[in-house]
Amino acid sequence: MSVTAIVGAQWGDEGKGRIIDYLAQQADVVIRFQGGDNAGHTVINDYGKHALHLIPSGIFNPKTTNIIGSGCVVNPQALLEEMAALEAANVRLDNLWISNRAQMVMPYHRTLDALEEAARGKDTIGTTKRGMGPAYADKAARSGLRLGDLLQPDWLEGRLDNALRTVNRKIEILGGDPVDGEELYALCMDFRAKLGQRIVDTMPLLRQALTAHQAILLEGQLGVMRDLDWGIYPYVTSSNPTAAFAASGAGLPARTIDRVVGVVKAYSTCVGDGPFPVELHDADGKKLRDIGGEYGATTGRPRRCGWFDGVAIHYAAWLNGMTGLAITKLDVLDQFDTLKICVGYELPDGSIVRDAMPDTPVLNLVKPVYEEWAGWQTSTESCRRWDDLPVAAQAYINRLSELANVKVDYVSVGPERDQMFEV
Ligand code: GDP
Ligand code: IMO
Ligand code: MG
């Protein structure tokens, strides 16, 4: 079959969860390949409405194996809470596995995330305060704890001692209370008892899946504009949501990826700080937020809203090597008489950039160049084929595809599982 990476093409919250839930009905394995419980992937299906944070969005399909990959940072406490919520909704979790190489987010990582944000003064990143930055920093500094460490208590004790030597100094410098090693060790033993049997070396499992030509989906978190290397640094997350990292974070050879689907909203949203050239502060921005229900799935923060950004999609499509687009939330535009699409950024010297992404300090100064498109002013919610869409909606989507230089594979017209179709 095939290996498909599903990645966010904008600033996150594009609707990755719902696309993966739909595609997972035909998939054997779904692997989350980066990020942690900063994610909020909303899925609506027969089990109700769930915002998934760590658990892959294929979990609602009992035959699908779901893996939290080695590229992720996992807060065991958050994972246990998420598992309990799903179990309460009768979702079966026997097919949920965690890579022994995934990093653990410890309670002190959340503490440090909050203290570091406070120390930034006016220059905040607007993080989700889920400990992502500090956990990935510890991974790179080689003082992180991994899920597999829970299975080796003696080794874990040494690793924890080692970590706390620097962690407690950092916390004290930033004005927090030091953490107690014995309490944390006891907490880890509790995690071991509750999660131990799900912590595995995922490599044999994935090798077997590839050999059997199974269908594998790689689930990304966030979007390219928040990528640690290619996003609006420093207003980024601390991992790489782009497809190039998918193989590594999932634990597959890079050349096995056959398809890269970029999930993209029919307009733009962004939550957190940093430049967002298409942001609207007017009635249209409010209308997009109200109709689109644009509030963070993890933090509840109102999302900043704007028109579709054609420069960002061009950049995202090339960088990810997208083979297809999944366009979501088309229905949110149903009530607009006119739509705008940003097709370039005007730089302070008057020149216009269309096919590159200016770096952050320059991006702060650009002005979007818009084209106007006619709206369709009719509901698309019950459309289930390309031909069902109003002609103006088809023209609008074709323009997005042209700007991305990538064909459209899927369109969604509502949040429910069946409110989408293949093009
Ligand atoms: P993710 O993080 O990329 O999975 O996206 P989020 O779940 O954070 O945000 C997407 C939001 O849009 C969720 O509330 C979804 O239920 C909703 N949604 C997804 N697709 C559609 C769609 O086609 N139409 C509408 N109206 N809502 C959608
Ligand atoms: P999903 O997977 C939207 C943003 C935060 C902040 C920046 C860094 O649901 O699309 P972090 O907590 O990762 O250190 O925050 O990234 N951010 C998200 N924005 N959707 C998300 O996840 C996000 N995860 C982090 O707002 O600007
Ligand atoms: Mg989200």
| Per-residue pLDDT band at 299 (split at 50, 70, 90) | confident
| pLDDT score of 296 | 83
Q: What is the pLDDT of residues 257-287, one digit of tens each?
A: 999 999 999 999 999 999 999 999 999 999 9
The answer on pLDDT for 1 being more than 80 is no
| pLDDT score of 284 | 97
| Per-residue pLDDT band at 301 (split at 50, 70, 90) | confident
Choosing from 329, 331, 334 the residue with most ligand 1 atoms within 8 A of its CB, the one to mutate for a pocket test is: 329
| Ligand whose nearest atom lies closest to the CA of 265 | 1
| Ligand whose nearest atom lies closest to the CA of 19 | 1
Torsion, CA 81, CA 104, CA 233, CA 119, rounded to 10: 80
Which are the contacts of 345, defined by CB distance < 8 A and separation ≥ 6? 277, 311, 352, 353, 354, 358, 363, 366, 367, 368, 369
Q: What is the pLDDT of residues 65-106, one digit of tens each?
A: 999 999 999 999 999 999 999 999 999 999 999 999 999 999
The answer on pLDDT for 298 being more than 80 is no
Q: What is the pTM of this model?
A: 0.97
- As to burial, measured by CB atoms within 10 angstroms (0-12 exposed, 13-18 middle, 19+ buried), residue 387 is exposed
Average pLDDT over the chain reads 97
Atom nearest to 332 CA in ligand 1: 26
The answer on pLDDT for 297 being more than 80 is no
The arithmetic mean of pLDDT across residues 227-232, rounded, is: 98
154 given a catalytic annotation? no
Residue 42 in contact with ligand 1 by CB distance below 6 A = yes
**What is the residue type of 148?**
G
Q: What is the pLDDT of residues 6-37, one digit of tens each?
A: 999 999 999 999 999 999 999 999 999 999 99
The arithmetic mean of pLDDT across residues 223-228, rounded, is: 98
Atom 18 in ligand 1: residue holding the nearest Cα: 415
The answer on pLDDT for 225 being more than 80 is yes
Q: What is the pLDDT of residues 193-209, one digit of tens each?
A: 999 999 999 999 999 99
Catalytic residue (choose from 21, 28, 37, 41): 41
**Centre of ligand 2 from the C-alpha of residue 257, in Å:** 25
The arithmetic mean of pLDDT across residues 388-404, rounded, is: 98
Atom 17 in ligand 1: residue holding the nearest Cα: 415
**Centre of ligand 2 from the C-alpha of residue 299, in Å:** 10
| pLDDT score of 417 | 96
Nearest Cα to Cα of residue 32 among 58, 3, 61? 58
| pLDDT score of 300 | 86
Give CA–CA dist 310/142, Å, rounded.
39
The arithmetic mean of pLDDT across residues 326-339, rounded, is: 98
109 given a catalytic annotation? no
| pLDDT score of 21 | 98
